[in-house]
């Protein structure tokens, strides 16, 4: 008998077919609605493998309902939605999808930086609203990108790829990370600084750290108050790393100049969230890795991890 798995969202056919070759598959067939918790709680009781997305909270309570579960395969590089400690205690493997989304997410991070600096969304809305009456010297002026200082919090794969893009814009690049990366410093011409120096000196601060208890509210009132008044904060990691209330006040009061956010503490973010009322915020619905090719690669990699795990091999991207 084939092992049973549950997939928490409709996946591309190619990926489902691959999984069906190896497993007895049940799947939540919707694309725009996440699986309701009650259904997940029921489905998980029967299966040996779970294929899930970052939208599902795989917490201790849920894992307790799953006596047969051997592996949770997350179709994301971040896995803060999974209680890895609880999974490990129960002997359940957890896997993620690093590597395949690095360049695509770095592209989006730089796109968000540029859109925020040059007010692209605001300017486009201005035109469509019929407000464009004439060309005017200081109209819709933003911040220069070339030659500016970029500060990167979290120099993992995506951070390094972002630095490569920034070099092409002649940016001066600083980073702060748990450990120093001498090879990257040499190859990319970037400089390690402490947290405070990064905040004080950067024109653009990009948040790319994993979301853990240590990085929760990593950027709050104290950090924002060190930043330059012309500075732009970009977050394409996880919403909870930046304190949203503190960010709102910093943007509203002119303590910092703008922000580009692809992630929010609660997703989907409410449309009446205070941050969305500010013209100096560019907001996106968590699309960092959203290119067709990359999403397909992530979906396939998550399938491969699940197959390896349930066929008795060590999955390529085991995190515990
Ligand atoms: C997306 O945010 C991911 O972690 O892959």
Residue 50 in contact with residue 73, Cβ under 8 Å? yes
- Point out the ligand 1 atom lying closest to the alpha carbon of residue 101: 5
Provide the domain limits for residue 298: 4-98+292-310
My answer on whether 42 and 168 are in the same domain is no
In Å, how far are 203, 228, 275, 292 from 250, measured between CA atoms? 15, 11, 11, 36
Mutate to test the pocket of ligand 1, among 289, 298, 319 (most ligand atoms within 8 A of CB): 289
- Point out the ligand 1 atom lying closest to the alpha carbon of residue 286: 2
My answer on whether 52 and 141 are in the same domain is no
My answer on whether 83 and 166 are in the same domain is no
My answer on whether 174 and 55 are in the same domain is no
Say yes or no: CB of residue 34 within 6 Å of ligand 1. Answer: no
Q: What is the pLDDT of residue 267?
A: 98
Residues 6+ positions from 280 with CB-CB distance below 8 Å: 116, 122, 251, 257, 258, 259
The rounded average pLDDT for each run of 10 residues, N- to C-terminus, in the chain (320 residues) is: 97 98 97 97 98 98 98 98 98 98 98 98 98 98 98 98 98 98 98 98 98 97 98 98 98 98 98 98 98 98 98 97
Does residue 315 fall inside a structural domain?
no
Q: Whose CA is nearest to atom 5 of ligand 1?
A: 76
| Inter-helix orientation angle 102-117/157-168, to 10° | 50
**Structural domain count, the chain:** 2
Distance (Å, rounded) from C-alpha 18 to C-alpha 255? 51
Query: Which of 173, 240, 237 shows the shortest CA–CA distance to 202?
Result: 173
Does residue 248 fall inside a structural domain?
yes
Q: What is the pLDDT of residue 318?
A: 98
| Active site members | 238, 267, 286
Say yes or no: CB of residue 156 within 6 Å of ligand 1. Answer: no
Residue 95 in contact with residue 305, Cβ under 8 Å? yes
Q: What is the pLDDT of residue 38?
A: 98
Does residue 317 fall inside a structural domain?
no
Say yes or no: CB of residue 75 within 6 Å of ligand 1. Answer: no
Say yes or no: CB of residue 289 within 6 Å of ligand 1. Answer: yes
Surface-to-core class of residue 110, CB atoms within 10 Å of its CB (0-12 exposed, 13-18 middle, 19+ buried)? buried
Beta strands in 144-246 (DSSP E): 149-153, 172-176, 191-192, 204-207, 232-235
| Neighbour count for residue 158 (Cβ, 10 Å) | 26
My answer on whether 215 and 141 are in the same domain is yes
Say yes or no: CB of residue 210 within 6 Å of ligand 1. Answer: no
Q: Whose CA is nearest to atom 4 of ligand 1?
A: 78
Residue 50 in contact with residue 92, Cβ under 8 Å? no
| Neighbour count for residue 193 (Cβ, 10 Å) | 16
141 CA to centre of ligand 1 in angstroms: 32
My answer on whether 248 and 299 are in the same domain is no
82 CA to centre of ligand 1 in angstroms: 13
């Amino acid at each position: 008998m084939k092992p049973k798995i549950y997939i928490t969202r409709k996946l591309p056919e190619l990926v489902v077919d691959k999984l069906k070759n190896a497993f007895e598959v049940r799947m939540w067939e919707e694309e725009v609605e996440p699986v309701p918790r009650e259904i997940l709680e029921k489905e998980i009781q029967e299966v040996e493998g779970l294929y899930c997305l970052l939208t599902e909270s795989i917490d201790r309570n849920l894992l307790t309902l799953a006596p047969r579960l051997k592996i949770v395969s997350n179709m994301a590089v971040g896995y803060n939605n999974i209680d890895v400690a609880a999974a490990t205690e129960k002997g359940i493997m957890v896997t993620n999808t690093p590597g395949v989304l690095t360049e695509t997410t770095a592209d989006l991070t730089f796109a968000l930086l540029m859109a925020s600096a040059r007010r692209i969304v605001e300017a486009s809305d201005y035109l469509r609203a019929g407000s464009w009456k004439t060309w005017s010297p200081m109209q819709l002026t933003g911040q220069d990108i070339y030659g500016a200082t970029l500060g990167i919090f979290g120099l993992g794969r995506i951070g390094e790829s972002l630095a490569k893009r920034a070099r092409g814009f002649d940016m001066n690049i600083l980073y702060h990370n748990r450990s120093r990366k001498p090879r990257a410093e040499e190859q990319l011409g970037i400089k390690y600084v402490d947290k405070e120096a990064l905040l004080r000196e950067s024109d653009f601060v990009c948040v790319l750290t994993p979301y853990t208890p240590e990085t929760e509210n990593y950027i709050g009132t104290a950090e924002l108050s060190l930043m330059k008044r012309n500075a732009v904060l970009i977050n394409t990691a996880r919403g909870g790393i930046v304190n949203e209330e503190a960010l709102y006040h910093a943007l509203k009061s002119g303590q910092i100049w703008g922000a580009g956010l692809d992630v929010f503490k609660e997703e989907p973010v409410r449309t009446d969230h205070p941050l969305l009322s500010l013209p100096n915020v560019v907001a996106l619905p968590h699309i960092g890795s959203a290119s067709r090719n990359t999403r397909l690669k992530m979906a396939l990699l998550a399938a491969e991890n699940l197959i390896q795990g349930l066929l008795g091999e060590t999955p390529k991207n085991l995190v515990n």
